Structure 1
Amino acid sequence: MASRALAKPQLRGLLAKRLRFRIVGGFIVSLSVAAFSKFAVAEPRKKAYADFYRNDDSMKDFEEMRKAGVFRSTK
């Protein structure tokens, strides 16, 4: 029977090699999450606010609430 010698494990530089991989992976994941949140959350929210204020008539809303009796100090 022939016995095979096991390969020696890499110990020198192992931490640096793994950290390099994990830092690059973490950077890529964080950039993708930031881009997703910008384009899936922030941009639609900005558009919704712009659409709301484009068609908003605050004086009309105030008059409707005044007629409904919401405000006690105005007549």
Structure 2
Amino acid sequence: MSLPKPVMRGMLAKRLRIHLPLAFAFAFGCAFAYKYAVAEPRKRAYTEFYKQYDAVKEFDAMRAAGIFESVRPSGE
């Protein structure tokens, strides 16, 4: 008694009909999950930070600390 030959004709097309839509659905699901779990909260955090951020005040604090080599601290 021998084993029957496997059906190879049309196997790729049959498997792609199932796996291709699943792959696209998974990819879009991951993209939407990333957008709403990571990107949107990050954008809100940056917006909140820059509402109260004063670049000149931060620059003066760094200059006073001596971080910059080409800028003298104020008062010299």
What is the alpha-carbon distance in structure 1 between the residues aligned to residue 9 and residue 68 of structure 2? Answer: 75
TM-score normalised by length of structure 2: 0.71
Aligned residues: 67
- Structure label with greater radius of gyration: 1
Residue segments in structure 1 that go unaligned for 5+ positions in a row: 1-8
Offset, 1:13:
4.0
TM-score normalised by length of structure 1: 0.72
Which position in structure 2 is the counterpart of 1:5? none
1:65 equivalent to 2:62? Answer yes
* % identical equivalent positions: 48
RMSD: 1.9
1:36 equivalent to 2:38? Answer no
Secondary structure of the structure 1 residue equivalent to 2:63 = helix
